[in-house]
Structure 1
Amino acid sequence: MIPWRRLGRSLRLRLTLWLLAGVALFWLVSLAYVVAESGKEAEELLDARLVASVEALSAAPLGRGDAPPSSGPPGKRQRKAGKHAGVLVLDPEGGEIVRFGALPSNADLSRLADGFHRIPGKPGWRIYAATRSDGARVFAAHPLEAHDELTEDLVEHSVETLTLGALALALFSWWAIGRGLRPLAVLSHALRQRRPDALEPVALPDAPQELEPVVGAVNDLLARLSQAFERERRFTADVAHELRTPIAAIAAHLDAALVEGNETRRREALRAAREGTTRAAQLIEQLLTLARLGHDARRPRRTIDAAEVVRQEVALLWPQAQARGHALEVDLPETLPLLLPPEPLALIVRNLVDNALRHTPPGSTVRVSLRREGNLVRLEIEDDGPGIPPERRETLFAPFARDSTAPGTGLGLTLVREAAELLGARIEPGESRLGGARFTLVLPVLHEAPTR
């Protein structure tokens, strides 16, 4: 048995209900049309019966007291129409020749002209009068309630037909929609039967045209997952390699310290081991930061002062700049409200400024500027150091992409790229106006910060 909650989410049921809603609308319009047309049809049928009765009496020779001649074998509706009909034939002097069935008692029929007449009252009457060639007058009449009864009969028959047709269409629609949605079940079954590591494209032969975008989207997702898993595998291998190096060095220095008898050389070995642990700790901290970025992306945006965020991060790095004799310049607006998560922006500033301080000679200049240009915000960190060769800019943001002699873990710029993507921004390396390297964060302003 299908649970009601699950049934309420059924695409098959929704399509069927939408189709039946259209059928119901058509049914109501058809019913209104049938009611209107049934009244006209009943009137035409009854009038035709009156005319047929009068014509039969007009053509037949009659004597006083004769029964009226038949106008042919009546059908079901004709019997319904003629059930209450009455006929009257008057000679030219007004005497009755034939009288049959019910006739109006509240009207002098001899005064009526040839043609159709309606006599109001309870009951009202519909009368047709004609004059024979011998001067006799012929009248046929039926009560108006016969019209209502025949109309109800016609409407009832039409409603039965429409209702049976609607039910048949509902059943057929349920079956046809289920058959049309069968390729979705085939696709669902194919995906459920896959192994977790099977990321090759889904093949669905003879897929209907409407399902091709879904299959294409699934295959596109599988391709992106395959690429992401491949990047993760390479990244994991790189991490293992990067961690193995300092750990092996630490172990070697500790082994040397254990067997070294000279106190000075033993202290040097311990100091080298301590530097190795520091480098390993930095690497682990960078890896944890990289993992936290994905979690930070799910945090809601809030109004921050981007200028204040940059100012605080630069202030934290000021002692490092002074220790190396660097000139740290800032060009910031007084305030720049943006609707952003603050953590990625702070990480970008911290890593780019730290990168500039560590990769430039002592006494260099590092400049940080922030400005808004229309719907873009530009953050620039530039220096007057040796710069970045153009051939290295393509792989600059790859994990562990650094010179073997360069300080650091090789993850700083990778973190910058990931943080920029979380902000919907792009990071552009280039040549500084100071002669060294320049990194520009270009951030589109997609959401204006509310004004206070």
Structure 2
Amino acid sequence: MLSSLRARLRWLIVLVLVAVLLPLGLLSFQRTIREVDELLDGRLAQSARTLQVLIEHAGIDSLRGDAGPGIRVPSEPAHASAMKRHGYTHEPEVGFQVFDKAGRVVLATTNLAVLPPPQPGDADFRDVRQGGYNWRVFTLADQVDGVVIRTGERYDSRQEITQALWFDHGLSLLLGLPLLALLVGWAVKRGLRPLEALTRALASRELGSRAPIVLERTPLELQPVLGALNDRLQRLADALEREQRFSADVAHELRTPLASTMINLESAQATTDPTEAAASLTSAQHVVAALARRIEQLLALARLESGAASGQYAAVDLVAIAVDVIEELAPVIAEGGVELSFVRSSEQVIVQGYEAALAALLRNLVENAMRHVPAGGQVQLSIEQGVQDVVLDVIDDGPGIPPEHRAQVFTRFHREASSRGEGYGLGLSIVQRAAELHRATIELLDSPFGNGLRVRVVIPLRQA
């Protein structure tokens, strides 16, 4: 059975309060009973000493009556029956006895008149049974006059006080606990208002929003939760954006290999020369193999962006990657009638980086240049190794990009009007992300051919 956090807190607090208040109430009740017993015992002793003072002033002889049993004092006042009819009497059942030297009763209340005289050693307090009741008696012996005074109180009178105390203590708990539960529920509800505000903020949050959740007067205990939640939402938004970018990159990256495959297959179908058909099919097979490798590279690049493949960072030969890219794009280059030249400073140019990312960078730079160059134009790929960095240049003699538009070409899905073919405006965006992975810088410069564009990527040899 599921329960709300509010209900759990309320009942836990109530149970804790009951677990604390009940033992404290019992201890307080026991302490109160002990103090009441001591107070009543003190009253018995005080009554005996009061009688002693009165007898000393009046004289014991004045208390002796003509009758043998001595003077009897009624133990119940005249108005007691009327008070009992109302349900309670505030006068407890008490009595006393006064004995002379000879041990005869000279003064006694009727309820204690038949109680046997005290024995030697009966001083102070003791419990006796008389007339079907238990009595608490106090015996005071006057060593000078030989008078013995005994006062007593019935235990059922004390039990009435005990019952009243039980009622007072129990009633406060019976009435206080439900009221306390209501107040605790109200306090818990008020204390959980920040959670309700957080729930409303999450429910009203727009899909894909990157704005952090901010609550007014956030409690200290909720601030770490809110910070972790905002961080998690930011990471989730980044992950969704990476997934969207990956889907767009896949569509962009697979377009050229598929086009090359279709060209080779159409050439094989159109020719009647078996040798030429076999060459076209072989080229198509190579392109399909390159397509499979391209897919693996895209997946690797996606893992790089998510930080899941940091172990793939290693020494990479840029010249070898460039040769593979040129071979992959050879059918498209031939069909477009564009002259591609490759210049390098040495047969090997080694950098530390991610092979998949660098291959995507070179491929997109060359393909982007070819898309902007008309038939009969030229594209040059240059790799030059310096002392501290490696410079990649991709130069074309196309229409170029005006300086005022160059800052926009790295925006996703942005395409220049001079672009040929069905591009998606993702090439330079992929280039930029690959460069960021290698701490590289990208510049768009004027082409040395007189018109066109030079894209320069500078990769530091020593990276953090």
Considering the TM-score relative to the shorter chain, is it more than 0.5?
Answer: yes
Whole-Å Cα distance in 2 between the matches of residues 386 and 101 of structure 1? 129
In the alignment, which residue of structure 2 is the partner of 1:161? Answer: 172
Q: Quick one: structure 1 residues 53 and 403, their matched pair in 2 at CA, closer, same or farther if it must change by over 3 Å?
A: same
- Equivalence for 2:125: 116
Per the alignment, residue 202 of structure 1 pairs with 213
Aligned to 1:30: 24
Residue 20 of structure 2 corresponds to residue 17 of structure 1: no
The separation in 2 between residues aligned to 1:163 and 1:288, in whole angstroms, is 69
| Residue 129 in structure 1 maps to residue 123 in structure 2 | no
3-state SS of the aligned residue for 1:389? strand
Q: Give the partner amino acid of 2:183.
A: F
Amino acid paired to 2:150: F
Write out per-residue CA displacement over residues 62-109 of structure 1, whole angstroms, 9 at most, x where no aligned residue. 864566899xxxxx9xx8785321123345555544422522745313
Residue aligned with 2:217, SS: coil
TM alignment of 1:324-343, pairs within 5 A: none
> Is residue 84–residue 143 contact of structure 1 (8 Å, CA) maintained in 2?
yes
What is the rounded CA distance, in whole Å, between the counterparts of 1:49 and 1:138 in structure 2?
14
What SS does structure 1 have at the residue aligned with 2:116?
coil
Q: Which of 252, 260, 276 is matched with 1:249 structurally?
A: 260
Q: Confirm or deny: 8 A CA contact 1:49 1:82 kept in the other structure.
A: no
Could you say which residue in structure 2 is the equivalent of 1:218? Answer: 229
Deviation at 1:127, TM superposition (A): 1.2
Partner of 1:371 in structure 2? none
Amino acid at match of 1:126: R
Q: Report the counterpart of residue 313 of structure 1 in structure 2.
A: none
* 1:389 alignment partner in structure 2: 351
1:23-172 alignment runs, 5 A limit: 23-58=17-52, 60=54, 64=71, 82-91=91-100, 94-103=103-112, 105=114, 107-109=116-118, 115-119=124-128, 123-130=133-140, 137-172=148-183
For 2:137, the aligned partner's letter is I
SS at match of 1:159: helix
Give the superposed CA RMSD.
4.7
Alpha-carbon distance, 1:185 to partner: 1.4
Q: Give 1:220 deviation, angstroms.
A: 0.8
Larger radius of gyration: 2
| 1:6 equivalenced with 2:11 (yes/no) | no
What does residue 311 of structure 1 align with? none
Superposed CA deviations along residues 38-68 of structure 1, whole A, max 9, x for unmatched, are 4313312321332353355445568645668
Rounded to whole Å, the distance in 2 between the matches of 1:6 and 1:148 is 48
Identity %: 31
Q: C-alpha deviations, 1:372-412, integer Å up to 9, x for none?
A: xxxxxxxxxxxxx968423xx2x44649547549xxxxxxx
The aligned counterpart of 1:423 is: none
2:198 pairs with one of 175, 187, 191: 187
Asked if the contact 2:297–2:356 (Cα under 8 Å) also holds between the matched residues in 1, the reply is no
Q: d(CA) in 1 for partners of 2:101 and 2:356? A: 118
Instruction: Summarize deviations over 1:320-379 as a string: whole Å, max 9, x none.
Output: xxxxxxxxxxxxxxxxxxxxxxxx9xxx99xx9xx9xx98x9xxxxxxxxxxxxxxxxxx
- Spell out, residue by residue over 1:189-248, the C-alpha distance to the aligned partner (whole angstroms, 9 max, x if none): 211222332232111121111111111111010111122223223322322221011112
Check 1:68–1:138 CA distance in 2 against 1; reply closer, same or farther (3 A cut): farther
Partners in 2 of 1:397 and 1:160 — Cα distance? 80
Secondary structure of the structure 2 residue equivalent to 1:117: strand
| Unmatched tracts of structure 1, length 5 or more | 71-75, 298-343, 362-384, 406-452
TM-score (norm 2): 0.54
- 2:413 is matched with none
Gaps of 5+ in 2: 64-70, 78-83, 324-346, 365-464
Deviation at 1:135, TM superposition (A): 6.7
